[in-house]
Amino acid sequence: MIKLVDKYHCTGCASCAQSCGHEAITMVYDNEGFLQPIIDITKCVECGLCQKHCPEMRPIGRLDYEKQKYYALIYDQDRKISSSGGAFSVFAKWIISQGGIVYGATIDEKFEVRHIGVESADELNKLRGSKYVQSIIGDTYKDIRNHLRSNRKVLFVGTGCQVGGLYSFLNGKRYEGLLYTLDLVCHGTPSYGAFKSYLSKLEKNISPNGEVGAIREFRFRKLDSWSIIPSVKFAKSNWRMLNLSENAFMDAFFKGITFRECCFNCQYCNTERIGTFTIADFWGIGRHGLPFKRNVSSGVSLVIDNTGLMPSIYDELRDMAYIEERPKDEAIFEQVNLKQPMNRLNVRDSAVLDMVDPNCSLVDYAKKYGLPYKITMIWRIQKLVKNVIYTFGLYNVYKTIIYKLGK
C-alpha cells in the first residue's frame, strides 16, 4: 500500500492530493486542526504519483546561490496598507501589468485562510497583510499549471513549503519567464483549527454580550508599521487592539508552541531558498554597520533575489519602489528563520490541543503556558513605551538602542 510521509514531515502543501488523477487523496483536518492527506484505498491504484510529487519525499533541485543578492525595498504608495515595505504589491502589480494572475492567501468571511487568484490591481487588497495561519491551497497548483500551459504569467506567494509543493507538482519545472514565486521567511504555521477555536473564545471574552459570530474582521498586525499588534472589529465598532490573554494566539505563535510538526525540521529555514525571490520584514536594517538613509518607521521589505533576476527587471520595479542592494550579513543578522527552524518545546502537543479545546479559556491558557494574562506595573510600562514608539515611528531607534546596550 502507498505510504506518504508521517505528520512530523508532512507540510500540508497538498501537492500529493492535486497530483492524484484518481482523486484518491483528500486533505482532512486532524485533531490538532491541521490538514493532513488521507488516502482512500478503494480509489488508489498505487501509481506512486503522490510520492513522486511530494517535496519531502523527493526534494526538488535547488538554485545557483552564487547569484543570490539582498535588497531593501520601500513602496511608499502601498506601505500604509501593507504589513511591511510593500514588496508583495510591487511584484504583484508588475505581473498584473503584463496580463498575468497573482495567487496569494486571503482571509474570508469565515476566517478561513485560503489561496485565491486575482487578476486586477483593485483586487490585491484581498491578499495584502500577514496571516499567521496555514492557508488552504485547494486546487491552486492545478489552476497555475493551466495558466502556464496557456503561456500566461503567474505570481505565486506562499511559505517555503507551499512554493516547494508547487514546484514538485510541476515536476520541478520552473517555467522561467512565466512563473514567478515569492517565498516568505516563515516562523512556523499554526493550524486553522486552533485559530478558529481561539476566535470563538475571544468572542466570549470581548464581544458585545458574548455573541458568537460577532467578530467581523481580524488583523494579525498593523498595516502601517513594523508593529505586530492584533486587533478585531465588531459590527458596530472601531478596531480594538488585543491585550494580555486576548492575544494568546499570537503570544503562543512567537513562543513557537502551536506550530505544525514539520516546522521544527523545516528544510527551508536557511538562505538556500526555493522561490524566485524571498520576501520578509527587513529587521535590523541600518543597525549593523551600513547606515540606511530612508525613513523606516512604516516598514521596509527584505527581498532576496535567488535567481539573479533582479538586474533585468530593476528598471521596471524602480518606477514603483525604492530598491537598494544591502549586505547579506545585515539581511540575515536578525532573521532567525534564515538560519534555523524553531526549537520544539516539550509543551508543544498540549499547547496545540488546549488552544483547540473550547473548554480551555484564554486566561487559563495564558497562565498555563507563561503568556501575559494580568495587568502589572511592568506590563503598564511596556505598553506605554510601545504606544509611544509606534505612535511616533521610533521603532528602529528603539531597536538600535536595545542592540547597542546588549553589545
What percentage of the chain carries pLDDT values higher than 90? Answer: 71
252/268 same-domain check: no
51: in domain: no
pLDDT band at 227; cut points 50, 70, 90: low
Which pairing describes strands 277-281 and 179-184: parallel, antiparallel, or unpaired?
Answer: parallel
Q: Determine, yes or no, domain membership for 1.
A: no
Q: 3 in a domain, yes or no?
A: no
Residues 75, 88: Cα–Cα separation, whole Å: 9
Same domain as 360, residue 316: no
The pLDDT value recorded for residue 25 is 97
Last residue of a domain, one of 290, 320, 338: 338
Structural domain contains residue 183: yes
Q: Is the pLDDT of residue 226 over 60?
A: no
Q: Classify residue 35 as exposed, middle or buried by CB count within 10 Å of its CB (0-12, 13-18, 19+).
A: buried
How confident is the model at residue 384, as a pLDDT? 74
Q: How far apart are CA 308 and CA 315, in angstroms?
A: 14
Per-residue pLDDT reduced to its tens digit, 361-374: 999 999 999 998 88
Segment 382-387 shows an average pLDDT of: 71
Same domain, 205 and 334: no
Quick count: other Cβ atoms within 10 Å of Cβ 404?
Answer: 9
Classify residue 300: in a domain, yes or no: yes
pLDDT higher than 80, residue 386: no
206 confidence band (pLDDT: 50, 70, 90): confident
Does residue 92 share a domain with residue 183?
Answer: yes
**pLDDT of 231 strictly over 90:** no
Q: Is 304 helix (H, G, I), strand (E, B) or coil?
A: strand
Q: What is the CATH number of the domain that holds 133?
A: 3.40.640
Calculate the alpha carbon distances from 158 to 155, 205, 351 in Å.
10, 32, 25
Q: Are residue 308 and residue 201 in the same domain, yes or no? A: no
Is residue 273 predicted with pLDDT exceeding 70? yes
Same domain for 70 and 157?
Answer: yes
Model confidence over 12-66: pLDDT tens digits? 999 999 999 999 999 999 999 999 999 999 999 999 999 999 999 998 877 888 8
Q: How many CB atoms are located within 10 Å of the residue 211 CB?
A: 12
Residues 113 and 98 in one domain: yes
**Are 274 and 129 part of one and the same domain?**
yes
Which position has the grid cell 540575515? 332
Element (H, E) at 241: strand 240-241
Number of domains in the chain: 3
**Residue 391 belongs to what domain range?**
376-407
Q: Average pLDDT in the 172-182 region?
A: 97
Q: Is residue 19 part of a domain?
A: no
Is 382 among the domain residues? Answer: yes
Neighbours of 152 (CB within 10 A): 17
**pLDDT tens, residue by residue, 301-356:** 999 999 999 999 999 999 999 999 999 999 999 999 999 999 999 999 999 999 99
For residue 202, pLDDT over 70 is answered with yes
Confidence class for position 234, pLDDT limits 50, 70, 90: confident
Residues 75 and 98 in one domain: yes
C-alpha span between 106 and 369 (Å, rounded) = 30
> Both 86 and 124 in a single domain?
yes
**Mean pLDDT to the nearest integer, 164-179:** 96
Q: Which three cell numbers stand for residue 230?
A: 492584533
Whether residue 220 is predicted with pLDDT greater than 70 in this model: the reply is: yes
The reply to whether 110 and 180 lie within a common domain is yes
Average of per-residue pLDDT values in the chain: 89
Is 12 inside any structural domain? no
Q: pTM of the full predicted structure? A: 0.92
- pLDDT at residue 243, rounded to an integer: 87
Share of residues in the chain with pLDDT > 70 (%): 89
Distance CA 236, CA 73 (A): 37
Regarding whether 263 and 390 lie in a shared domain, the answer is no
